[in-house]
């Protein structure tokens, strides 16, 4: 009879142990599922990416196309996303190679910020990013150059930067922009430099 009396006291403990073990296993499965989903999302992003991996040769070829186009007058619209800042839209007008009007989210920013978003200014930003990627410790606080991912796409006809993105793996540091509209303009209608 003493065995029968002890049995009911042990029954509630067995389900608790099973519940703890199954909760742990379920947590592990969910954690692995979330990690796998994150890894797949990163693979899809970097594989399909907004733009292909960027190299110095890509930038130089784009600059050559841009210089050959002779475009001095143009309008462009750029979608800009930088970590820690709200996304913004830049609209810029350039005449004779110089910015003449700019808005950021509908407001005119200080004049010294306009040059950055000209085609030449974008080329300079990309050139600096390539330099920083070669010395990531100084620029981004990471030791391995493979942690700095640069992607870019240039217009095949005129060479202006269509898309650019910089990510630093292991840091919450990214910057990207995309030219969503580009229009050469001039008295002649094609935006080319006058002979």
The answer, as to whether pTM is greater than 0.85, is no
Q: For residues 93 and 73, give the distance between their C-alpha atoms in angstroms, rounded to a whole number.
A: 8
Model pLDDT for residues 111-133, shown as the tens digit of each residue: 999 999 999 999 999 999 999 99
Q: Residue 161 pLDDT > 90, yes or no?
A: yes
DSSP 82: E
CA diameter of the chain: 111
Give me the half-sphere count of Cα atoms (radius 13 Å) on the Cβ side of residue 14: 5
Mean of pLDDT over the chain: 81
């Amino acid at each position: 009879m003493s065995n029968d009396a002890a049995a009911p006291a042990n029954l509630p403990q067995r389900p608790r142990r099973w519940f703890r073990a199954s909760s742990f296993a379920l947590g592990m499965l969910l954690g692995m599922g979330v990690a796998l989903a994150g890894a797949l999302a990163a693979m899809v992003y970097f594989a399909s990416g907004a733009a292909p991996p960027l190299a110095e040769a890509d930038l130089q070829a784009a600059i050559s196309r841009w210089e050959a186009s002779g475009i001095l007058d143009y309008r462009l619209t750029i979608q800009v996303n930088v970590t820690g800042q709200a996304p913004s839209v830049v609209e810029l007008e350039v005449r004779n190679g110089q910015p003449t009007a700019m808005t950021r989210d509908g407001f005119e920013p200080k004049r010294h910020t306009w040059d950055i978003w000209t085609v030449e200014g974008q080329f300079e930003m990309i050139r600096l990013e390539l330099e920083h990627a070669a010395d990531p410790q100084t620029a981004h606080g990471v030791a391995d150059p493979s942690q700095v991912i640069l992607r870019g796409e240039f217009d095949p006809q005129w060479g202006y930067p269509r898309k650019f993105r910089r990510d630093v793996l292991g840091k919450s540091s990214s910057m990207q922009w995309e030219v969503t509209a580009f229009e050469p303009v001039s008295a002649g209608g094609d935006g080319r430099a006058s002979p």
